[in-house]
Every structure is written in structure tokens, then in C-alpha cells.
Structure 1
């Protein structure tokens, strides 16, 4: 049997690494996630270190919390480009005046002709 886009096998480190990556990308602590899911912080730590399996219910809740698909969390989809998420998170910590300046600079960059040699 052949498929057009084979899925790479998921090793035992994929799920823990993706759970940790998704949490850190959003700036959440393990305590934040534990509170949101009604679990202990040690349970979240155990998920992220492969010491405890994540139930279907828990992975579904984590998917919603992190804004990622279950398929991505379990390693069946490639890693998305989250640079925009990181930029948004960094800008959200700025004052309104500084956010306005960042927005103006981003608009300036978007409108500028791009040098394709760099």
C-alpha cells in the first residue's frame, strides 16, 4: 500500500517535546496548564518528560488550550511556523504606544521593496 504523503513514525519523545514546545511558545507555565486542565503541576511535568501517557481527553483539552491540532501534538503533522505567535506574544507585553510603533514599523517593512539577495 502506498500513500501520497507518508507520515513519519512517531517516536516516544515526539508527544512530550511538542507538549512542552506548545506550552512554552504561548508563555504558559506548567502550573498554568495544570490549573486549566484541573491537574497537578507534576502531572504536566510528567507529560512533558514522557513519564506519563496523556489520555485522549487530556490531549483534546491540551489541543484546545494550545490552539494546535491533536494530530500535530501527536506528531502526525509537521511543525508549523510559529514566528508570528512569538512576535504577537512579545508585542503584547509592550505599552500601547510601543505596540503602535511596532505596528508602524511592520507596516513599513511590509510595504518596502524586498531585496531578494539577502
Structure 2
């Protein structure tokens, strides 16, 4: 069982991913903004963080850098993006890049 944070400004997406993770036996939490993601990751320790890179209040890569300073600094960070153009595999903060929408099989693979 892993503790997972799902960060997405789309509440439906974040909630659906959390619910899917719960069905797989994990503990999920959600954050709907970059600021709330940084606060959550600073106050709790997560094993995995699924991070939308296109947040209305912050750049996802900046959020990732801030998360790396908090209690969840060793979490596996999975970047979620709807655009191939945003994938930058040289970016050191991100561990895994995933194109949206992530399906249940991919979610399960990433959490195993």
C-alpha cells in the first residue's frame, strides 16, 4: 500500500485517479492547485505524487521543485501532461512522464 497525492486542477480527474488508486488498495489524497500540492507535500509524506504540469496558479515544474524541499522530497513524481511538447526527459525533478489521460492499467503499472 502506497500513500499517493494526485495534483490536478480538474477536480473530476484528480478525484477519479484517487478513487482508482483506492480501488487498488492505496491511500489517495488530492490537491487542486500548485499551492495546495506544495502544502500537502510539505506536511505529509507521500510515496508517489501524480503532478499535472499545467496548473492555473503555478508551473508544474516549479511545484515539483518545491515538493522536493518538503517531507515528500523522496516521493516518485509522475508528471501528467496532455501535450507531448511539454515532455522534457532531461528535467531532473520528474521521475516519470505520462500523457493524459492515464488509464487504469497504466496507473496500476506505475503504482506497482
For the aligned pair, the TM-score class normalised by the smaller chain equals under 0.3
Q: When the two structures are superposed, what TM-score results if normalisation uses the length of structure 2?
A: 0.27
- Asked which structure has the greater CA Rg, the reply is 1
Query: Whose helix fraction is larger, Structure 1's or Structure 2's?
Result: 1
Query: Whose strand fraction is larger, Structure 1's or Structure 2's?
Result: 2
Q: When the two structures are superposed, what TM-score results if normalisation uses the length of structure 1?
A: 0.26
